[in-house]
Structure 1
Amino acid sequence: MAGDYPDPSVAKIGNTYWASATSSNWFPAYPMMKSEDLVHWETAGFVFEKKPDWADFYFWAPEVAPEKGKVYIYYTAHKKDGNLCVGVASANKPEGPYRDHGPLICQPDGSIDGFPMRDETGKLYLIWKEDGNSVGKPTPIWAQPLNEERTALTGSKQELFRNDSPWEANLVEGVSIIRHGDYFYALYAAAGCCGHACTYGTGVARAKSLLGPWEKYKQNPILTADPMWKCPGHGTPIEKDGRHYFLYHAYSQQGGVFVGRQVLLREFRFTDNGWIDFESTAKPMASMPGNITYDFNDDNLPKAWNWSVFRQPVTHLRKGQLQINAQPDKFGDYIGHRTTSPNYTAQTTILTEKQEALAGLAIIGDDDNAIGISLQGTQLYVWKLEKGKEQSLGKAQIEAASRVKLLIKVQNGSSLSFSYSTDGTTFKPIGERSIDGSYLPPWDRALRVGLTAKGPNSRVALFDDFTLNSGH
């Protein structure tokens, strides 16, 4: 699943497979994606179109858990005036709507990566990680009974295992458990999850009882970097046609942090000596369209678009045009689209006749980091925002035209160049030929290419289309 989909989870509901993934500080939170074959996926909805009342950001690690006609999503989010917590939401069908039940566990150092599991007697438990690595402490994996309503933990917590092997470095996390034969098997991630210097890998532990004692495989890690993918981990096992697969994330060696952690599917088997053995290569992902075009003729914004968890834009679709209401601060309001390759072009058509705001096209890391090109009237600007501070990279007075096309070309994920066209065919460069965008990605997520609107709140930016052309 090409693009930025960290910490994926998958479950079979009826005859369909449903998956979700971390959205972090992009919104809507937790895409709900469906597939008939575990290879071809489409987004059918989201868990949260608006934030739960108790949480403010870092929407991580959803776990899809259907049971008894309901769908539960265990998720991590940052509590207002607090730390990271594991919460739960539920729905009658996987595409929603979801009802939030609030946080289940909020430890002082943070609680993340919730996973539900029944023990050998059928008793329901919540498994999670205490986020000790955030304050230089070990990272125990806990289990505690959970009531059948999924609204509260009961009893007391018990540690299953923690980071005590050299390869695990400062953490273990992302535990998912499958029962097979005499054992519960815990697939888990360890070491550094994210960024250029990531060291993530996947290990396995086993126990005959859910509460242990747990034994780690002496040949861990069982998934590590290969020539195509690096830092593999944090996924969920799934069975299909009697065969077992692991849906997990990794960075491509080519796209790296700029494209983000992408979803892979890898088959595994249970060995004669009671452990797990992975196939040597991941299944090839379904081919992605090289060209994606939006003409904005729908009534609603397509599900592929995201925005900041901190600032939801006001958008309208009318007569094949997208209108974004402007905001005066930073680079304005915006919507963003995932990229699937480190080499791509993005293009949009600005309608200037009713143009009131600075309308633009940008590569976006977050609210404080972006590089883009914007048009107001006949004035064109190339700009850079780094840590909230804006810098001009070029400007030009262009000839008047009712429609102006803006184009960004990206190479190797971080080399950016800009051009424009007033006749729809001939593009003229503006600004530096190679602008360095290597600083843009936040530590835990990938870039978006987006449409921007900056100016007084009463003004709007109008877009006629958007095209993303990805080279793979």
Structure 2
Amino acid sequence: MLVRALLLALLALLVCAPVAAAQSANANPVLAGEWPDPTVVRTDQGYFASATSGNWAPIFRILWSGDLRSWKVKGEVFRKRPRWASHDFWAPEFVEHAGRWLVFYNARRKGAPATEDADEPPQCIGVATAARITGPYRDSGAPVYCSSVGAIDPFAARDENGRLTLLWKEDGNSAGLPTRILGQPLSEDGTRLLSGTTPTQLFANDPASWEGSVVEAPAIVRRNGFFYMLYAGNLCCGPPCTYAEGVARSRKLLGSYRRRPGNPILIGNSSLRCPGHGSIVSDVRTGRDSFLYHAYRTGPHFFVGRQLILDDVNWGSDGFPTLGSGSPSFSEPAPRGLSFFEPFRGRRLKPEWEWRAVAKPLIAVRRGRLALRRMRARRKDLAAAVVTRRPTSGVYTATAKIRRSKLRRGVYAGLAAFRSRTHSLLVAISRDTAVVVQRDPDEGQRRLAKIRLRESRLGFLRIRARGDRFAFFASRDGRRWRRLDGSQTGNFEGSVRIALTAGGGTRPRAEFESFGFRARR
């Protein structure tokens, strides 16, 4: 009996082991870091996804996965900005049509005037095409659609007659107006709105409901004679966000739509906040539909940004879908799995590195060093050249090793918590000093701390972060560290990147030997 019991116990361990591994592989977030507004499609080669780039390039990174749970960067839609577009590259959406791939997206138009209600021109919808989903993509050269209040979150779907139709959000809330989901048929090649047609309103926000002033991010799936539109509502972003996901259905793609009485079908919880804006895709591993979307982690990890989340779609007896348990599933990731080290081997940066779309620096990687420089810069700008990575945790220690002897007089190599050109916290080292500088949209650039640091061949910079609190350190040898002033609050309102920088001269150049990111609890 004892032998039989031992054999049964051993068998149980063998059977349970792969199940535990599978559960671990399913842990959310499925991709840590800032990946908002995701699109996902299934192909014969696996799953491909993309997400909002904002003002970073390469624009619209193309992600690949074999199982929806482990993702790798495989390329990008644009290496540089399309000629008509200036910034704010949001919400890409893949669709296969007539043997080619189209990606719809939105961006602000160059040279367009600002509106009365905003300091920037409104968003327009663009499209690019490629023979393969991985590209190379060619932009159409002009917007597909613009409006006076802006148009965002494009989604292309085939109507009941098989005609490709574009849906989008008319961005009325940006001008204090109702928000509407509109749709209009596309031309035969899918790159223009069909001549002779006009936009149709599918529905508008209900300000007395959970939707508040916003409905957006339409995503269509057809099932049992109905078009189901998943959509997001309320405030998407920043610490006061109230985002959630709802669903409506119609017999025809362009309506009329009836909302599910039990909306919203996905709301935040104590681990993941403000979930929404995603796509439904069939999961070949489970045979079920899945919903890939974004959500913020709570606590200090909020400042990582909107991370990639995957949950099951459950189709109810009333025909409507629900998402997971009604709030995001979550499993605390181990810090070790979120850490990374970059020794700058090879001849190019790893694909996880990015730069400002409007100001790409000169980048050279060779002999275990990254050379970062800018040919024209303002002497007082300590972050004239910038390369960044997405933090995978909001609690971390980041360390940069610098060839200090290669810095010219007055030039600084830096390590920064970087949100935008006008909003960052930076620790930087020159031949003889180390400084901490804050750049704020309201107050401009100001120095917070400065110390003398005797010359040395190498220099080391370090940032310790917990949410929106940062501490800064400098060292001559990487063992004995000097702290620069006290901890600083970034006053960041959303995701913050970690950046390597060069600045302080009219042609600044800095060399980095390594970069490390160690996630902490």
Superposition TM-score tier, normalisation by shorter sequence: over 0.9
CA distance in structure 2 between the aligned counterparts of 1:424 and 1:401, rounded to whole angstroms: 12
Deviation at 1:282, TM superposition (A): 4.0
Match of residue 435 from structure 1: 488
Counterpart check, 1:109 vs 2:124: no
Matched, 1:163 2:205: yes
Equivalent of residue 377 in structure 1, options 431, 444, 448: 431
Letter in 2 for 1:100: D
Q: Does 1:273 align with 2:273?
A: no
- The residue type equivalent to 2:385 in the other structure is D
The CA distance in 1 between the partners of 2:209 and 2:308, in whole Å, is 27
SS of residue paired to 1:64:
strand
Rounded to whole Å, the distance in 1 between the matches of 2:105 and 2:469 is: 35
Displacement of 1:171 in angstroms is: 1.2
- Alpha-carbon offset, residue 369 of structure 1: 1.1
Q: Structure 1 404/21 Cα, relative in aligned 2: closer, same or farther at 3 Å?
A: same
Query: 1:117-154 CA deviation, whole Å, 9 max, x = no partner?
Result: 11111111101111111101111111111012122101
In structure 1, C-alpha distance between the alignment counterparts of 2:435 and 2:499, rounded to whole Å: 16
Q: 2:396 aligns with which of 314, 332, 344?
A: 344
The CA distance in 2 between the partners of 1:212 and 1:354, in whole Å, is 64
Q: Which has the higher strand share?
A: 1
Summarize the alignment of residues 185-196 of structure 1 with structure 2, pairs less than 5 Å apart: 185-196=228-239
Distance 1:50 1:316 in 2: 18
What is the deviation of 1:304?
1.1
TM-score when normalising by structure 2 = 0.86
Alignment partner, residue 478 of structure 2: 424
Give the 3-state SS of the residue equivalent to 2:77 in structure 1. strand
Q: Which of 171, 178, 181 does residue 221 from structure 2 map onto? A: 178
How far apart, in 1, do the equivalents of 2:192 and 2:432 lie?
A: 59
* Contact 2:272-2:330 at 8 Å conserved across structures: no
> 1:461 & 1:136 partners in 2: Cα distance?
46
Asked if the contact 2:267–2:328 (Cα under 8 Å) also holds between the matched residues in 1, the reply is no
> Higher mean Cα deviation, 73-82 or 384-393?
384-393
Classify the secondary structure of the residue corresponding to 1:57. Answer: coil
Give, in whole Å, the separation in 2 of the partners of 1:359 and 1:49.
Answer: 26
Match of 2:511 among 459, 462, 470: 462
- Partner SS for 1:31: strand
Match of 1:72 in 2: 102
Letter in 2 for 1:306: E
- Give the alignment partner of residue 190 of structure 2, picking from 142, 150, 156: 150
- Matched-pair contact (CA < 8 Å) for 1:21–1:62: yes
In the alignment, which of 89, 103, 126 is matched to residue 166 of structure 2?
Answer: 126
Supply the AA of the counterpart residue of 1:163.
N
Which amino acid is 2:461 matched to?
L
For structure 2, the residue ranges without an aligned partner over 5 or more in a row are 1-30, 113-121
- Write the letter of the residue equivalent to 1:88: V
In 2 relative to 1, CA 65–255 (structure 1 residues): closer, same or farther, beyond 3 Å? farther
Do residues 333 (structure 1) and 385 (structure 2) align?
A: yes
Deviation at 1:284, TM superposition (A): 5.0
Question: How many residue pairs were aligned?
Answer: 466
- The SS at the match of 1:273 is coil
CA contact (8 A) 2:151 2:168 kept: yes
Q: Residues of 1 paired with 2:152 and 2:450: CA distance?
A: 46
Contact map agreement 2:364 2:371 (CA 8 A) in 1: yes
Whole-angstrom distance in 2 between the partners of 1:395 and 1:26: 30
How high is the TM-score relative to the length of structure 1? Answer: 0.95
Greater alpha carbon shift after TM alignment, 413-422 vs 34-43: 413-422
Q: Are the equivalent residues in 2 in contact too, given 1:330–1:367 (CA < 8 A)? A: no
User: AA paired with 1:376?
Assistant: S
Task: Please report how far the alpha carbon of residue 251 of structure 1 lies from its aligned counterpart in structure 2 after TM superposition.
Answer: 0.8
- Give the Å deviation of 1:382: 1.4
Instruction: Point out the structure with max Rg over C-alpha.
Output: 2
Deviations 1:219-269 (A, max 9, x none): 111111112111111100111133011101111112454110111001012
Q: CA deviation at 1:283?
A: 5.1
Structure 1 unpaired stretches of 5+? none
Q: Which range moves more in the overlay, 94-103 or 384-393?
A: 384-393
Answer yes or no: is the 8 Å Cα contact 1:196–1:256 preserved in 2.
no
Could you report, residue by residue, the CA deviation over 1:413-469 in whole angstroms, capped at 9, with x for unpaired residues? 11111112222222221222x1111x234xxx5111111111333331111110011
Name the CA distance, whole Å, in 2 between partners of 1:24 and 1:419: 30
State the alpha-carbon separation in 2 of the partners of residues 258 and 43 from structure 1: 22
1:25-424 map, 5 Å: 25-82=55-112, 83-101=122-140, 102-154=142-194, 155-164=197-206, 166-241=209-284, 242-255=287-300, 257-280=302-325, 282=328, 284=330, 289-326=337-374, 327-328=377-378, 329-331=380-382, 332-356=384-408, 357-387=411-441, 389-411=444-466, 413-424=467-478
Question: In structure 2, the residue corresponding to 1:169 is in which secondary structure?
Answer: coil
Write the letter of the residue equivalent to 2:213: N
Instruction: Tell me the SS of whatever aligns to 1:223.
Output: coil
Cα distance per residue 1:162-200 (max 9 Å; x no partner): 102521111100000000112110000011010011111
Contact (CA 8 Å) 1:267, 1:282: kept in 2 or not?
Answer: no
Aligned counterparts of 1:330 and 1:252: Cα–Cα separation in 2: 33
Q: Which residue of the partner structure matches residue 3 of structure 2?
A: none
Q: Which secondary structure state, in structure 2, belongs to the residue aligned with residue 463 of structure 1?
A: strand
The whole-number CA distance in structure 2 between the counterparts of 1:74 and 1:255 is: 33
In structure 1, distance between residues paired with 2:52 and 2:294: 11
Residue type at the aligned position of 1:330: D
Q: Is the 8 A contact 2:272 2:328 kept in 1?
A: no
Between the aligned partners of 1:22 and 1:386, the Cα distance in structure 2 is 24
Q: Alignment partner of 1:289: what SS?
A: helix
Counterpart AA for 1:324 = L
Please give the secondary structure, in 2, of the residue aligned with 1:103: coil
- Alignment match, 2:500: 451
Offset of residue 270 of structure 1 = 1.4
Q: Distance between the aligned counterparts of 1:68 and 1:431, measured in 2?
A: 61
Distance 1:278 1:290 in 2: 27
Q: State the Cα RMSD in Å.
A: 1.6
Structure 2: distance between partners of 1:314 and 1:359: 14
Shift of 1:67: 3.4
